């Protein structure tokens, strides 16, 4: 009824197929909710999901049977994997660090960086700085990487939190650093490169 009232479909919306119904549900601003709250009813959820799936090279399919239920199928390329990652900012770019290689992360004091190492919990951890490659920033935080017992301290500008990310292949041009292991689209729609700690430490 809402779709017909908006002029997006004929009065007989029950006759719509899954693909046509999904196109209507995914329209920005379309909602069947009677009341709008801070978390629902604004008509942006399905559109945001479909946009991210398409950005990852995937597709969506919807089937619905009256009195039975609705099935939504999301298809993503098999070359992609989902991993937990720590998100960091360096200059104006974002990076994802696979969480399995992160031993610890902390904000830095001015005297913690000395002569190519990070003084952390009584140890001098060799520095790994993306700055020379990715622009000048503040380097206000450190991420302690652990790769099979080898450690390195990745200097970053900001710690942005954790997120499960879908890692896809990256068509890297010549000159791309070897520590770039893939690419992802974050939950806010911003792209990020996925780091390979084994190539950094």
* pLDDT above 80 (res 26): no
Average pLDDT for 112-134: 78
DSSP summary character for residue 179: T
Average pLDDT, the chain: 78
102 in the same domain as 61:
no
Rounded distance between C-alpha atoms, residue 64 and residue 17, angstroms: 8
Mark whether 89 and 143 lie in a shared domain.
yes
C-alpha span between 201 and 193 (Å, rounded): 17
CA count, 13 A, side-chain hemisphere, 175: 2
Spatial contact of 88 and 192, defined as CB atoms under 8 Å apart: no
Are residue 149 and residue 185 in the same domain, yes or no?
yes
Residues 179 and 137 in one domain: yes
pLDDT reported for residue 136: 43
Confidence of residue 70 (pLDDT cuts 50, 70, 90): confident
Are the CB atoms for 46 and 32 separated by under 8 Å? no
Which of 55-64, 145-154, 155-164 is predicted least confidently? 55-64
Report the CATH number that the domain containing residue 185 is assigned in CATH. 2.30.30.40
Residue 59 Ramachandran class (φ > 0 left, ψ -120 to 50 alpha, else beta): beta
Residue 184 scores a pLDDT above 50:
yes
Confidence of residue 146 (pLDDT cuts 50, 70, 90): very high
Give yes or no: residues 175 and 98 share one domain: yes
The CATH number assigned to the domain holding 61 equals 3.30.565.10
Average pLDDT over residues 44-64: 74
Domain count for the chain: 2
Same domain as 28, residue 110: no
How many whole angstroms separate alpha carbon 81 and alpha carbon 78? 8
Cα dist from 54 to 15, 47, 60, 169, whole Å: 26, 11, 8, 15
Phi, psi of 100 (to 5 degrees): -65, -15
Residues 112 and 56 in one domain: no
State which of 23, 42, 75 marks the end of a domain: 75
Q: How confident is the model at residue 40 (pLDDT cuts 50, 70, 90)?
A: low
- What is the residue range of 185's domain? 81-199
Token pair for 80: 């992609």
* Rounded CA separation 60/78 (Å): 15
Q: β-strand 141-147 against 102-107: which pairing, if any?
A: antiparallel
């Amino acid at each position: 009824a809402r779709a017909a009232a908006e002029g997006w479909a004929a009065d007989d919306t029950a006759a719509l197929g899954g693909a046509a119904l999904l196109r209507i549900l995914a329209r920005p601003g379309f909602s069947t909710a009677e009341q709008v709250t801070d978390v629902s009813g604004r008509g942006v959820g399905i559109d945001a999901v479909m946009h991210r799936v398409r950005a990852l090279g995937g597709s969506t399919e919807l089937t619905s049977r009256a009195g039975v239920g609705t099935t939504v199928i999301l298809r993503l390329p098999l070359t992609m994997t989902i991993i937990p990652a720590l998100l960091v900012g360096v200059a104006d770019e974002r990076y994802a660090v696979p969480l399995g290689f992160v031993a610890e992360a902390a904000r830095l004091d001015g005297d913690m960086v000395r002569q190519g190492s990070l003084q952390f919990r009584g140890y001098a951890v060799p520095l790994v700085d993306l700055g020379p490659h990715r622009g000048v920033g503040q380097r206000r935080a450190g991420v302690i990487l652990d790769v099979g017992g080898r450690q390195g301290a990745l200097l970053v500008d900001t710690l942005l939190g954790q997120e499960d990310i879908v890692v896809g292949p990256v068509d890297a041009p010549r000159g791309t650093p070897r520590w770039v292991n893939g690419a992802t689209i974050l939950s806010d729609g911003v792209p990020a490169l996925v780091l390979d700690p084994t190539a950094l430490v």
